[in-house]
Amino acid sequence: MIPDIKVSTENTMTKVVSTETTMQKVWFIDVVTQYGPDCLHSVPVRIALEQCAEILNVEYTAVVDQNCPIFKGTEKWLRVLHFSRTGTLHDLFEDLAIPEIQSKLREFCDLWIRIRSLLKGINNNASCTIIRLDWGVNSYQKLAVFLSVASLLAARKNTIVWIHLDRSADRTKIARFRQRLLDIFPIKVWRTAYTSEIAAENKKYGRVVDILPLPLHPALSDFAYKHRSANKINLCHAKADKLVCWLFINRPEQGLALLPKIIDHPSVGAFPKKSIKCFVCEHASIKENAEIELVRLPYVSEEDYHLHFNKCEVVFLPYKTHSYSSSMSMVFIETIATSKIPIVSDGTAMARELRRFELGDLVIDFDTEFSWTLINKIRKDVSIRARVNLMAESYVREHGTFGYAHSLYKSLKRFNSKMALSEPKAGNLASIHVEP
């Protein structure tokens, strides 16, 4: 027995089938595989993609894990994965002795069945269907989506699998099996990345990768536009007595081990007590410091994140080079867009971006070059702030909702010149509602 897909009373599918004007539209299907704290940083991309769909005159829906707190209880995310026990499908796994295998098989079959059911309903009513998989999707989830498309047989000719790459090329056994599947059942695959380094690495394996900007949260994009037009971005902070920093790091590849060294650096003694304030993760292994005011934050909601983030003027990104040499950080994009000062590790994609805008002063080796005296000198440098503001203007244009929509349009038209997309116009963006 195949479990039914739950839909709301305002199901987009029902609306499509009954509306003649939708028959020739392109569809975006956004597969949300991440949940828990990790999915917070995926939210801006998903919201931006939904708004871009409106700008490009494209239909949008999402396949969502019900355990993801960001989307729980919301009506606009219509498809849910990982239902509680339904029918006999899950009973097949009860005899398996290894819990890890049970979990992967459940995940694989759930995704396979639901994507296939969704595609069967959409394919007859769309000129093209684009299934988006982001960097968080694992090999089993990718295989499930590819099998779903392959099983459509001739109907799959109008279906494109959009894979976003954020790490090195996938060379696992599952990936090799998936490639064999592509050889037998040709499936259109559109690959994108946020950096030219990832595109170049995949080119070695014969893969064409389009480069897209990492989109800002639309609300933050709107905030940045307004503040840029006022021409008062952070210039007054240079005179502030208190140095307020963002040190919210909770993963080893982000430089978690460096936090105690940063907080307890001897140079802190050159400042009055509590004149430095740092926002850190509540679980960070940092002892209380008599010199620095530490504000411990839980893994906050999106609204709380922006509330605390906006209080800072310096953002530390001591990310490991081997993890971020070709990967872009959403926090970095938001830092620049709001004209805050990022301090980043050398050898990362963020360091290359800063040097592109003549901001190499903000690139340091945290092991040997960091000091609070240096950070305070940087934040008071008016010329650095002016260059950050120029970079912010460029980033808001490139990474804002309209910039992202325009990049999507150009890349998709290169991929398929006959794709039914509306070219982004300034007027399209004015009609989009942005939550404050």
* Tens digit of each residue's pLDDT (9 = 90 or more) over 316-326: 999 999 889 88
For residue 399, pLDDT over 50 is answered with yes
Asked whether residue 274 is assigned to any structural domain, the reply reads yes
What range defines the domain where residue 61 resides?
Answer: 12-215+400-430
pLDDT at 2: 28
The pTM is what? 0.78
Asked whether residue 211 is assigned to any structural domain, the reply reads yes
pLDDT at 361: 96
For residue 315, pLDDT over 90 is answered with yes
pLDDT digits (tens, 9 = 90+) for 50-63: 889 999 999 888 77
Asked whether residue 2 is assigned to any structural domain, the reply reads no
Statement to judge: residues 266 and 328 lie in one domain? yes
Question: Of 40, 43, 66, 50, whose CA–CA distance to 408 is shortest?
Answer: 50
Question: How far apart (Å, rounded) are the C-alpha atoms in residues 419 and 398?
Answer: 23
Least confidently predicted of 242-246, 304-308, 317-321: 304-308
Asked whether residue 3 is assigned to any structural domain, the reply reads no
Statement to judge: residues 209 and 137 lie in one domain? yes
Statement to judge: residues 241 and 298 lie in one domain? yes
- What CATH number should be reported for the domain holding residue 173? 3.40.50
Residue with tokens 């001591």: 318
Q: How does DSSP classify residue 155?
A: G
Measure Cα distances from 184 to 128, 179, 283, 389, 397 in Å.
22, 9, 49, 52, 42
For residue 383, pLDDT over 80 is answered with yes
Statement to judge: residues 189 and 226 lie in one domain? no
Statement to judge: residues 167 and 130 lie in one domain? yes
For residue 291, pLDDT over 80 is answered with yes
Mean pLDDT across 287-309: 80
Number of domains the chain is built from: 2
Statement to judge: residues 348 and 381 lie in one domain? yes
Asked whether residue 352 is assigned to any structural domain, the reply reads yes
pLDDT at 307: 78
Q: Spell out the residues 6+ positions from residue 126 whose beta carbon is closer than 8 angstroms to its own.
A: 16, 23, 24, 25, 26, 27, 59, 158
Could you tell me which residue, 69 or 105, shows the higher pLDDT? 105
Asked whether residue 110 is assigned to any structural domain, the reply reads yes
Least confidently predicted of 103-112, 150-159, 263-272: 103-112
Measured distance between the N- and C-terminal CA atoms of the chain, rounded to whole angstroms: 44
Mean pLDDT across 93-122: 67
Statement to judge: residues 243 and 342 lie in one domain? yes
- Cβ pair 391, 422 in contact under 8 A: no
pLDDT at 119: 80
169-202 per-residue burial string, b: 16 or more CB within 10 A, e: under 16: ebeeeeeeebeebeeeeebbbbbbbbbebbbebb
For residue 71, pLDDT over 60 is answered with no
Largest CA distance in the chain: 72
pLDDT at 219: 66
pLDDT digits (tens, 9 = 90+) for 177-212: 666 766 667 788 899 988 888 888 888 878 899 999
Please report how many Cα atoms fall inside a 13 Å half-sphere around the Cα of residue 331, on the Cβ side.
Answer: 21
Statement to judge: residues 132 and 174 lie in one domain? yes
Asked whether residue 310 is assigned to any structural domain, the reply reads yes
- What CATH number should be reported for the domain holding residue 394? 3.40.50.2000
For residue 249, pLDDT over 80 is answered with yes
pLDDT digits (tens, 9 = 90+) for 17-56: 333 444 568 999 888 765 544 555 556 677 788 889 999 9
Statement to judge: residues 122 and 147 lie in one domain? yes
For residue 229, pLDDT over 50 is answered with no
Q: How does DSSP classify residue 237?
A: G
Mean pLDDT across 343-349: 95
Report the Cα 335 to chain-centroid distance in Å.
15
Asked whether residue 166 is assigned to any structural domain, the reply reads yes
Statement to judge: residues 133 and 266 lie in one domain? no
Statement to judge: residues 116 and 231 lie in one domain? no
- Cβ pair 147, 113 in contact under 8 A: no
Q: Spell out the residues 6+ positions from residue 217 whose beta carbon is closer than 8 angstroms to its own.
A: 43, 44, 47, 48, 302, 306, 334
Statement to judge: residues 116 and 169 lie in one domain? yes
DSSP string, 291-359: SEEEEEE-S--HHHHHHHHTT-SEEEE---HHHHSS---HHHHHHHHTT-EEEEETTSHHHHHHHHTT-
